[in-house]
Amino acid sequence: MQNLTGKVALVTGSGRGIGRSIALKLAKHGARVVVNDLDIALAEEVVAIIQSLGSEATACVGSVTEVGFAERFVNTAMTHFQGLDIIVNNAGYTWDNVIQKMTDEQWDAMLDVHVKAPFRILRAAQPIIRHLSKAEAEAGKEIFRKVVNISSIAGLGGNAGQANYSAGKAGVVGLTLALAKEWGRMKVNVNCVAFGFIKTRLTESTADGDATVNIEGRDIKVGINPSLAKMFEQSIPLGRAGTPDEAADAVYLLCSPESNYISGQTLVCGGGISI
């Protein structure tokens, strides 16, 4: 059932992993998607897949932390699709260390990508959403828009070695709560999904512990020791880590019309894990 037909969705960090699955999930339900990634090849690959599904998509390449990116991202939706209905603030990564060894750069990087970037995107979107909602109200139409911010169980319960990431993801929850109150009058549902252990390139098991990814010129260590990953999975009531597609399903729930009276909530997608 394509219950998002005609909707325009912006999804940050949607060239791979969870973001890619979110973009494809929304497209399969009829949404037109603005795909974002640092890598133009990955972004264009997702655009091509969406187009092959019979939906529409375009790419907006760049870092969500760049000055001016938010305005460019929002304007891409308006230029190509003349609308703005769904915003998913998904882009992010981890850069771990215990606090006594954590640098200011590590701290700032996590707050920039997880809190400041969503803030800027939502700030840039507000005038457009206000204009659209006012016109709809004057026409006697009740049309709901959706914002889904991505948090983590680290943002709800903390995690050793992730003071920066935990603080950033906790900030996302606060941003969600504030915007749900500010934007309710514009018929915008603002919610949050907090992921548990989801299998992505950032959480893959690595025996040697030397796996890295390059993000904006920084080599960031990624991966989890296999024994630690096994321990994590054993703590999950459903007995395993989640997949990117299952993570996308949780986001879709809060983008669907069935969530029109749900706002200011944080949905934990973690296989039953307790915080």
State the DSSP code for 67.
Answer: T
Q: Mind listing the pLDDT tens digit for each residue in 103-128?
A: 999 999 999 999 999 999 999 999 99
Q: Please check the confidence at residue 147 and state whether its pLDDT lies above 70.
A: yes
Place of tokens 């889904």: 148
Mean pLDDT of 31-49: 98
Q: Residue 163's pLDDT is what?
A: 98
Q: Mind listing the pLDDT tens digit for each residue in 239-253?
A: 999 999 999 999 999
Q: Mind listing the pLDDT tens digit for each residue in 44-97?
A: 999 999 999 999 999 999 999 999 999 999 999 999 999 999 999 999 999 999
Give a yes or no: residue 167 inside a domain. yes
Where is mean pLDDT largest: 1-10, 137-146, 207-216?
137-146
Give a yes or no: residue 209 inside a domain. no
- Higher-confidence position of 23 and 228: 23
Q: Residue 209's pLDDT is what?
A: 57
Distance CA 216, CA 253 (A): 32
Give a yes or no: residue 137 inside a domain. yes
Distance CA 83, CA 90 (A): 20
Q: Domain limits at 37?
A: 8-196+243-269
Give a yes or no: residue 223 inside a domain. no
Question: Does 93 participate in catalysis according to the annotation?
Answer: no
Percent of the chain surpassing pLDDT 70: 96
Catalytic residue from among 93, 165, 252, 261: 165
Give a yes or no: residue 1 inside a domain. no
Give a yes or no: residue 210 inside a domain. no
Extended beta strands in the chain, E state: 8-11, 32-35, 57-59, 86-89, 145-152, 188-195, 212-215, 218-221, 266-269
Give a yes or no: residue 257 inside a domain. yes
Query: Among residues 81, 184, 64, 195, which one has the least CA distance to residue 130?
Result: 184
Extended beta strands in 121-186, E state: 145-152
Q: Residue 205's pLDDT is what?
A: 60
| Number of folded domains that form the chain | 1
Give a yes or no: residue 63 inside a domain. yes
- Give the CATH number, domain containing residue 50: 3.40.50.720
